[in-house]
Amino acid sequence: MKNILIVLLVLILLLAAMLVVRNINRSDFNGLKVAYLGREYLLQKDHINQLELQVLWADNQKFQAISIDEVLKYFSLHPKDIRTITFVSADGGALNLKSEEIHKAFLALQREGKQQYFRLIIPEDEFRQRWLKRVVELQVR
């Protein structure tokens, strides 16, 4: 019985340590990485205030969002030079948009508990099939 309690206590301590490490890794909003032609740019929290926010309605929800065109313009990237953008989420999910679809896409800064993250929103998508949570990187090609 004593051995079982010791093993159980060790497992509880291990679980608690894992939860602490997980919460440290899920720190508050770090920014959005934009990769283009071997260069990397970072859209940080204080840069967002310099971009034009738009209020839009999608899926019966109100969002304050930044157009992808605005993000590209901020880093002096021209949409005519771009073939695709791959949006990568923190969990490894990814979505590709072709150049002709870029102007339809927006990034909304959202909050879930203490966490802030970008969410890809394409208002024209009827059932949110191409929406992506926790976007951390744009791979521009």
Whole-number pLDDT of residue 31: 87
Residue 27 reports pLDDT greater than 80: no
Whole-number pLDDT of residue 21: 65
Fold held by 29-140: Sulfite Oxidase; Chain A, domain 2 (3.90.420)
Whole-number pLDDT of residue 28: 57
Start-end of H helices in the chain: 2-25, 45-48, 68-74
One-character DSSP codes across 40-95 = EEEE-HHHHTTSPEEEEEETTEEEEEEEHHHHHHHTT--GGG-SEEEEEETTS-EE
For the chain, domain boundaries: 29-140
Residue 24 reports pLDDT greater than 80: no
Whole-number pLDDT of residue 67: 95
What are 132's strand-pairing partners? Answer: 120
Q: Shortest CA distance to 31 belongs to which of 135, 139, 140, 141? A: 135
Whole-number pLDDT of residue 5: 87
